[in-house]
Amino acid sequence: MELTYVATCLFGLEKLLGEEIDALGYRRIDTMDGRVTFTGDAAAIVRTNIGLRFAERVYISLGSFRAETFEQLFEGTRALPWENWIGARDAFPVKGHAIKSKLFSLPDCQSIVKKAVVERLKSVYRLGWFEESSVLYQIEFFIFKDVATLMIDTSGTPLHKRGYRTEANGAPLRETLAAALAAIARPREDVLFWDPMCGSGTIAIEAAMQMANIAPGLHRPFAAEKFPQIAPALWRDARAEAEAAIRADSAFEAYASDIDPAAVQLTKDNCRRAGVTKWVKAFERDARQIKTGGRRGTVVCNPPYGERLMTMQEAETLYREMGRHFATLDAWQIYVLTSHEGFERLYGRRADKVRKLYNGMIPCSYYQFFKPKDDRGGKSFGDRPNRSFDGRNGHSDKQGKPFGGKKQWEKK
C-alpha cells in the first residue's frame, strides 16, 4: 500500500533532505520551505526515521483540503480515514500551525480538528467516549494559504536528537544542521576535516557518521514502533540493514579541537556514545594556532556570534584574527557559519559562496572559501562595505571562553 509522507526540516535543508529521500528510493511529489512530501510503502516509516540525516520529523499525511472556514476544516478532517490508524482506545492529541491563512487561531483549529476526529471515530467504533489510554498517535495539522494538511507523527522525539548528545554546552548546534554543514563541505577520506571551535563536537561527529555510513537513528526509539500497523520485523530488518551498511574501514579522519578543556571532554564523551572515536580526535588547541602539518584539509566551524556567547566586540576581534591566521593554511578550504552580516569584511576576504541556513530565529549565513586566494585575483574585503545575506539559523556550538592567551596547548 502506497502512503503519502511529509518530512520536515530546518529552512535551507530542503534540497539535502530531498536528495536523501531520493537515495532511499522514494518519490518526491512536493517541496516547500521546511518540508518535503513524498510517497512510499509502509516500510518507508521505518527506513526514513532511521536513515534521514536532515529531517526533523516524518509524518504520515492523511490528506489535504481547502479550509477557509471552521466548517470546511471540520468536514475535511472528518472525511479522512482516521480509523486506519487510531484504535478505539488509542490517544490522539492535536497540535499544529497555520501560516498565511484565514484560519489563524491555533486553539480554535485544534478544537475543531479534535472534534472532527472524534465524530469520525464515533461513527466507526460506535462509542460515545474515548478513554485514550493506549497507543499515542500525535495528530498535527498544517494550514498554509488556506489549504489544510492533516498528519500523524511517526517520529516522536525530534530526529535531530540522535541519542549521543546527552549533555551539551551553553549554545548547542542542532545535529541536523551540523550534518548539513558537514555535507556541504564535502568530507573526503584523503582530506583532514577539522572543527577548531568544536564545542560539544557535533559537526565533527556528524561528518564521521556520514563517512562511516552510520545511520543517524540507529540507536534511538520512535513513536511508530508502537503502531500495530507496522510489523516489528520491519524495525528489526531495517536496523540490521543499517548495521551491515556501516563502513568500519573508512579512512576518514576528523579533528575536533577547542580552547576549553571542558568542551574537549564533552566532545570525547559524545564521540564515544556516537561510536566515532575511531575517526574523531578531540584535543585542546587555540583556533588561531592550528597548522596544516603539510596535509590537505577542510576547516568547518561555527564560531560565537556575539549574541549568546562572547560580546559582539569579542566576536568581531575573533573573526579578524581567524581571517589572518586561516590565510596561512595553504590551500585549505574554510567553511564558517555565523549570523554576523559583516563577517566577510572582518575576516578580510569575500566568500566564494554564501548559503542561507536556518535554525531557530537567528539569521545566519554559511560562508564558503574553497578557491585559493591567488586564483581569485587576490581579492579581499579590506574596509569595503560588506554584503548582507538574509537567513535564520541556530545557536553556536561553542563554549563562551575567550580565544587566545598564552596558555600552552598539547594535542590529546
Give the CB-side neighbour count of residue 57, counting CA atoms within 13 A. 17
Q: What mean pLDDT is predicted for residues 249-256?
A: 98
Give the model's pLDDT for residue 68. 98
Q: What is the 3-state secondary structure (H, E, C) of 100-163?
A: CCCCCCHHHHHHHHHHHHHHHHHHHHCCCCCCCCCCECCEEEEEECCEEEEEEECCCCCCCCCC
> Residue 362 carries which DSSP code?
B
Calpha distance 295→63 (Å, rounded): 53
Strand residues in 146-287 grouped as ranges (E): 147-153, 192-195, 254-258, 280-284
Helix (H) or strand (E) holding 210: helix 202-211
Calpha distance 207→187 (Å, rounded): 7
C-alpha cell at 303: 564560531
Residue 17 has pLDDT above 50, yes or no: yes
Give the model's pLDDT for residue 374. 62
pLDDT tens column, 279-313: 999 999 999 999 999 999 999 999 988 777 788 89
Give the model's pLDDT for residue 397. 37
Q: Which pairing describes strands 3-8 and 57-66: parallel, antiparallel, or unpaired?
A: antiparallel
Residue 228 has pLDDT above 50, yes or no: yes
Neighbours of 406 (CB within 10 A): 5
Residue 399 has pLDDT above 90, yes or no: no
Range among 167-176, 313-322, 370-379 rated most confident? 313-322
* Gyration radius of the chain over CA positions: 24
Q: Which residues pair with 96 in a beta bridge?
A: 141
pLDDT tens column, 35-73: 999 999 999 999 999 999 999 999 999 999 999 999 999
Q: Are 123 and 79 in contact (CB under 8 A)?
A: no
CA-wise closest residue to 86 among 54, 145, 134: 134
Q: Which pairing describes strands 280-284 and 254-258: parallel, antiparallel, or unpaired?
A: parallel
Calpha distance 335→191 (Å, rounded): 14
Residue 412 has pLDDT above 70, yes or no: no
Calpha distance 258→197 (Å, rounded): 5
Domain ranges of the chain: 3-153, 175-214+222-376
CATH no., domain 175-214+222-376: 3.40.50.150
**Strands laid side by side in the 254-258 sheet:** 280-284, 254-258, 192-195, 297-301, 333-338, 364-369, 353-357
Q: What mean pLDDT is predicted for residues 81-104?
A: 97
Dihedral sign of CA atoms 69, 75, 80, 82 in order: positive
Helix (H) or strand (E) holding 15: helix 14-23
43-51 vs 232-244: helix crossing angle, rounded to 10:
40
User: How far is C-alpha 90 from the geometric centre of its chain's CA atoms?
Assistant: 30
CATH no., domain 3-153: 3.30.2130.30
Give the model's pLDDT for residue 88. 97
- 147 Cβ contact list (under 8 Å, min separation 6): 64, 65, 66, 67
